[in-house]
Chains A and B, each alone.
Chain A
Amino acid sequence: MSERTLRGRAVIAGVGETPYYKHGKAPDDEFKLALIAVLEACRDAGIDPREVDGFASYGGDRSEATRLAAALGIRELRFSNMHWGGGGGGVCAAVGNAAAAVHSGMADCVIAFRSLAQGQFRRYGRGAAAETVSGEDAFLAPYGLMSPAQRFAMKITRFMAEHGIRHEALRAIALASYHHAQNNPRAVMRGRPLDAATYDASRWIVEPFHRLYDCCMENDGAAAVLVVPAERAHDLAQKPAYLLGAAQGGHYRSAAPVHNAPLYASSHFTTVAHNLYAMAKLGPADLDVVQAYENFTGGVLMSLVEHGLVRPEEANDFLVPENLLAPTGRMPLNTSGGNLAECYMHGLEMVIEGVRQLRGTACNQVPGASTVLVIGGPMVTPVSSLILGTEAAL
C-alpha cells in the first residue's frame, strides 16, 4: 500500500493579491476583491481561470465558491470547501484541503483564498450588539469578555507566568514584523517604523500582554493561491512551491467551553505540529524561514514553542530582534511584515510570502531558502500549519 501523505503531491503554482488597504478603505466590494485575487493567482501561474475546478476557504468567507464559479465562467466545479473555525486558524488547512483535493483526484486545479472587506462588514475588535447572548458567550459577554484580544489574553497571561517569559520577547516579534514591512511596497505599515520605545509606550488593549502593537490590524483585500497536482510542476510559469506537510485540528478538548481546555496555556498546536513534522519528514531545525500568524504576539510565542522552534526557558534570550530579521537572523520571522504590518489577510498573505521566499523573489529574501513553515492563527480551534519547500527539499 502506498504511503498516505500529501508530501510532494501538490504544488502552489500561482499566487495573487489585491492591493492591501487599511480597514474600510478598499475601493471595491469584497466579492470583487476575491475575483481580482483569484484572477491574479491564475495569471501568475499561467493557467486559464476557466480551468479552476475548486475553491477552498476558511473563517466563514463570504465569497462563496458557487458564486465565484458562476462569475468566472468556471467550466465545472468539482470541489468546494469551507473549513470550520473563525479568524485565520484555518488558513493552512485551506491550502491543505486544496492539496488533498487535487491529490485525491477530486479536482485538478483548486484555489485557496481569503477575501475581507471589514469596512463593508462588521469589525472583529468589537463585541456583538445583541441584547442577549447564548451558548458559551452567555458565560463570557456579560462579564465584558467579547473580543478576540480578550478571548486569548488569559491563555497568554498564564503561559507567560508559568514560564517566566518577559514582555520583551513579545516586543521582538512585533519589531520584526514592522522591520520587514518597511521594505515591502505592499505593506500597509510601510513608512511607519516601530521602535522599542514606541512599543513600550503604546496604550494597553488588554493588560498584561496586549499592547496596541501586539495586536493585528484589521484590513481590506483578498489573496489567493492556486494548487495543482505535483505532476504539473514542470509545466508551470513559476517555480513551484511543493507542499511538504499540512496538518490541522487541536489537542484533547482544546475547544472545551468557557476556557476549560485541560491544556489551557497553549496555542493548540501541540498535536498539530507533531503531525505536520511527521508528514513533512522534517523537524524544526530544517526550516529556513518561519511565517507565524500574529493575531496577538503572545499567540506567536506559544505557536513557536509548540512547533519546537524555541524552548520556553530560552524564549527570553532567543526572541530578540536580531534573531528574527532577514536575511541574517537565526530564525527569520514574518518576512513580509505579517498580520501586524503587511496586512491582516487572515494569514493567506503569509502563505504567499512563503511561496515568494521559495521562489527567491521576497522583499526580505532569506538567501537560498528551501523550506518555509507557515503557522495559521494560534489559540483558536481548529488551528493549522503548513510546510512548503522547493523541489530540492523533496
Chain B
Amino acid sequence: MSTTPSRALPGGLPAPASEPLTAPYWVGTRAGRLVIQRCRGCGGWQWGPEWVCHRCHSFDLAWEEVPPCGRIYSWERPHHPVHPALNGHTPYIIVLVELPQAGNVRMVGNLLGDPRQEIGIAAEVEAVFEPHDEADPPYTLVQWRVVG
C-alpha cells in the first residue's frame, strides 16, 4: 500500500463520507477486501447498502467478502469536466461492473488504462484497490482493469 499507483482521476474530487450504514464497506477496501451486503435471512446479495433486505425485510445484513472480479455491464466516457478537479483531465472512463459471484449486483468505478481504449460490454475486469492515504480520514476506492 506504500507505493501509490497512478490514480484513475486527479486529487480534489469529493471523498466518501464515513456513515454507519456503509462503514463496513470502506473498512474492507482499506484492507484490500471487497465486501458486499448479504442477508442472513434469505442469503440474497444487496448493493448499494440499505438497512433492510429488499427480499425478505430482514434487518440482519452481513458483509461478505466476494472475489474482486466482474464484467462490464455498461460504460461511459465523460469529456466535459463536471468538477474543477477534472479540468484538463478528461476524458476518463466510468464503468458499471456486475459481480457474477455476488448475485450480479453492480458497482460503479473507473476503468484503468488508456482513457481512450475501446470498451466492450461483458468484458472481464478485476478490481484494483486505490488508496487515498493522504486524505483525512484515508479511504480506498475500488477501480477496475480489463483482465488479460
Contacts and interface: CB of A to CB of B under 8 A. Distances in A.
A296 to B, nearest CB: 12
Given A132-B16, A138-B17, A144 B82 contact: yes
A127 B16 CA distance: 14
Is the interface on chain B under 10, 10 to 19, 20 to 34, or 35 or more residues? 35 or more
B141 A144 contact: no
A21 to B, nearest CB: 22
A166 B16 CA distance: 37
B94 A154 contact: yes
A135 B22 CA distance: 8
Nearest to B46: A260
A260 to B, nearest CB: 5
Contacts, number: 133
Contacts of A121: none
Interface string A253-281: 10011111000110000000000000000
A150 B94 contact: yes
Nearest to A161: B121
Contacts of A158: 73-74, 96, 121
Interface residues on A, range: 35 or more
A257 B50 contact: yes
A282 interface: no
Contact of B48 (A142, A205, A257): A257
B83 A144 contact: yes
A133 interface: yes
B131 interface: no
Contacts of B78: 144-145, 149-150, 153, 205-207
B79 A204 contact: yes
A256 B110 CA distance: 20
A125 B86 CA distance: 14
A202 to B, nearest CB: 11
Contact of B82 (A135, A138, A146): A146
Contacts of A231: none
Nearest to B91: A207
A75 interface: no
Given A207-B91, A253-B54, A139 B48 contact: yes
Nearest to A145: B94
Interface in B84-129: 86, 91-92, 94, 96, 105-110, 121
A127 B79 contact: no
A206 B80 contact: yes
Contacts of B80: 125, 147, 149, 203-206
B82 to A, nearest CB: 4
A215 to B, nearest CB: 9
A134 interface: yes
B14 interface: yes
A157 B83 contact: no
B19 A154 contact: no
A201 interface: no
B95 to A, nearest CB: 8
B69 to A, nearest CB: 18
Contacts of A153: 76, 78
Contacts of A141: 13-14
A84 to B, nearest CB: 18
Given A127-B82, A139-B107, 4 more contacts: A138-B17, A142-B15, A153-B78, A203-B80
Interface of A: 125-128, 130-147, 149-150, 153-155, 157-158, 161, 203-208, 253, 256-260, 264-265
